[in-house]
């Protein structure tokens, strides 16, 4: 497959993932996962025992306290083992989630020219300021060894509202912006509930995490992941193994196509589809703040030959100006401080990725 240089530092493939998907073309070497780098893609790993947690129990005080305590214990146990659970009782209606998925699916179905409505220079300028590429893109090659994801992504900063860059927000389909705004509002509410519950589950004062990670200036970025069907799911990944650099990640899975896998005790397991549940993945910054008690799981997304897959991931992280670090109450003689404090972990994470380093490892004391 010939490579063409688009004039920027990145190198673009001459046939798009979409074209290869539609034509069932054998994926080129740039997409083939090498055993030495990530381990082979097993055909069908087991379904993981991912706990389902009713988070409505955390948002009101009128519930039976024994029931709430039990759910908090489930939360603590999930986050300190696999670092992942399925949240139900989040109060976001099934109809609304369908509307969001449909708006995103309609966007990705638009002709390529219509999706790339922003000039590259504008994107790059913005990227330099925000250290995160907003807008519609597929992964670009920044290093020789990098294996490319079989995916297209639309990345949008949704919070704080005054930092939104609406130029990147699709105008088509018509309801896209409104639906995304509403979803962001609902997720901000859900995030606040979760941070409090996470603190309580460790017998901490309820604002112990949210005072570092939440509030007016905290960032929330939403990434719509679109994975076209692929003729070689045994060799190609939708998303390479990674941990999220966020505080927490809230992931809405596709309704029909499974694809998310997490590494538990050295084994990949599938995260099953639970209708309307939102998968909560703990991110690196919460692992740091919890002094290593909570775990940021390694996860990946696989592709399939039958159908496209859509997921909507939202990443909550603190304002890049503020410093985060292990909560004092979680440091003692038996559990000494594990991590340094960090500012703008998003940037650290990105720089480590470029150098092939694991960001969290570089934060260890």
Report in angstroms how near the CB of residue 191 gets to Ni ion at its nearest.
16
Is 134 one of the binding residues for Ni ion (CB under 5 A)? Answer: no
Binding residues for ligand OGA (CB under 6 A): 223, 225, 239, 244, 251, 259-260, 299, 301, 311, 313
Q: Are 325 and 319 in contact (CB under 8 A)?
A: no
Strands 309-317 and 299-302 come out as unpaired
Q: Say if residues 43 and 233 touch (Cβ distance below 8 Å).
A: no
In this structure, what are the phi and psi dihedrals at residue 328, rounded to the nearest 5 degrees?
A: -50, -45
Tokens standing for residue 349: 């994470």
Alpha carbon distance 279, 85 (integer Å) = 6
Closest CB 1 distance from Ni ion, rounded Å: 27
Nearer to ligand OGA by Cβ, of 56 and 133: the residue is 133
Helices (H), 225-289: 284-289
List beta partners, residue 159: 220
Cβ 259 to ligand OGA shortest distance, Å: 5
CA 257, 176, 111 angle in degrees (round to 5)?
A: 70
Please identify, among the stretches 170-178, 202-210, 238-246, 254-262, the one whose residues bind Ni ion according to the rule CB under 5 A: 238-246
Q: How far is the CB of 129 from ligand OGA (least distance, A)?
A: 22
Question: Strand, coil or helix: what is 180?
Answer: helix
291 contact choice in ligand OGA, Ni ion, none (CB below 5 to 8 Å, kind-dependent):
none
| Closer Cβ to Ni ion, 244 or 276, answer by number | 244
Q: Is 244 a residue that touches Ni ion (CB under 5 A)?
A: yes
Q: How many residues bind Ni ion (CB under 5 A)?
A: 1
Q: Which residue has the tokens 């913005």?
A: 126
Token output for 207: 């604002």
Residue 311 touches which of Ni ion, ligand OGA, none (CB < 5 to 8 A by kind)?
ligand OGA
For residue 244, the minimal CB distance to Ni ion (Å) is 4
Min dist CB 256 to ligand OGA, Å, is 13
Cα separation, 352 vs 341, whole angstroms? 17
CB atoms inside a 10 Å sphere around CB 137: 18
* Cβ nearer to Ni ion, comparing 170 with 238: 238
Angle between helices 176-201 and 94-109 (to 10 degrees): 130
Residue 236 binds which entry of ligand OGA, Ni ion, none, CB below 5-8 Å type-dependent: none
Q: Which residues pair with 84 in a beta bridge?
A: 281
CB nearer to ligand OGA: pick between 57 and 230: 230
Partner touching 103 among ligand OGA, Ni ion, none, CB below 5 to 8 Å by kind: none
Residue with the shortest CB distance to Ni ion: 244
Measured from the CB of residue 263, what is the shortest distance to Ni ion in angstroms?
Answer: 12
Q: Which residues bind Ni ion (CB under 5 A)?
A: 244
């Amino acid at each position: 497959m010939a490579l063409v240089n688009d004039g920027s530092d990145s190198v673009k493939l001459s046939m798009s993932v979409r074209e290869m998907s539609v034509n069932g073309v054998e994926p080129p070497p740039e997409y083939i996962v090498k055993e030495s780098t990530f381990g082979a893609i097993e055909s069908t790993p087991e379904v993981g025992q991912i706990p389902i947690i009713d988070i409505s129990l955390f948002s009101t005080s009128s519930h039976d306290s024994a029931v709430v305590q039990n759910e908090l214990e489930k939360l603590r146990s999930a986050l300190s083992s696999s670092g992942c659970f399925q949240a139900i009782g989040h109060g976001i209606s099934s109809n609304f989630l369908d509307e969001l998925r449909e708006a995103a699916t309609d966007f990705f179905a638009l002709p390529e020219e219509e999706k790339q409505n922003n000039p590259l220079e504008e994107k790059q300028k913005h990227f330099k300021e925000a250290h995160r590429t907003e807008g519609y893109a597929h992964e670009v090659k920044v290093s020789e060894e990098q294996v490319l994801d079989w995916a297209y992504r639309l990345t949008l900063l949704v919070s704080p509202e005054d930092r939104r860059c609406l130029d990147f927000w699709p105008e088509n389909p018509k309801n896209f912006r409104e639906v995304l705004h509403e979803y962001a509002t609902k997720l901000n509410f859900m995030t606040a509930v979760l941070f409090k519950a996470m603190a309580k589950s460790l017998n901490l004062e309820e604002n112990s995490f949210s005072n570092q990670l939440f509030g007016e200036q905290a960032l929330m970025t939403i990434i719509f992941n679109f994975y076209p069907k692929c003729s070689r799911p045994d060799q190609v990944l939708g998303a390479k193994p990674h941990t999220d650099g966020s505080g927490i990640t809230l992931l809405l899975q596709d309704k029909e196509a499974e694809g998310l896998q997490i590494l538990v005790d050295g084994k990949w397991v599938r995260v099953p589809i639970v209708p309307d549940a939102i998968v909560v993945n703990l991110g690196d910054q919460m692992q740091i703040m919890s002094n290593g008690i909570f775990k940021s799981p390694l996860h990946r997304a696989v592709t399939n030959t039958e159908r496209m897959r859509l997921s909507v991931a939202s990443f909550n992280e603190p304002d890049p100006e503020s410093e985060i670090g292990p909560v004092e109450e979680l440091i003692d003689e038996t559990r000494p401080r594990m991590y340094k404090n960090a500012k703008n972990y998003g940037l650290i994470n990105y720089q480590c990725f470029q150098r092939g380093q694991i960001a969290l490892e570089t934060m260890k004391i």
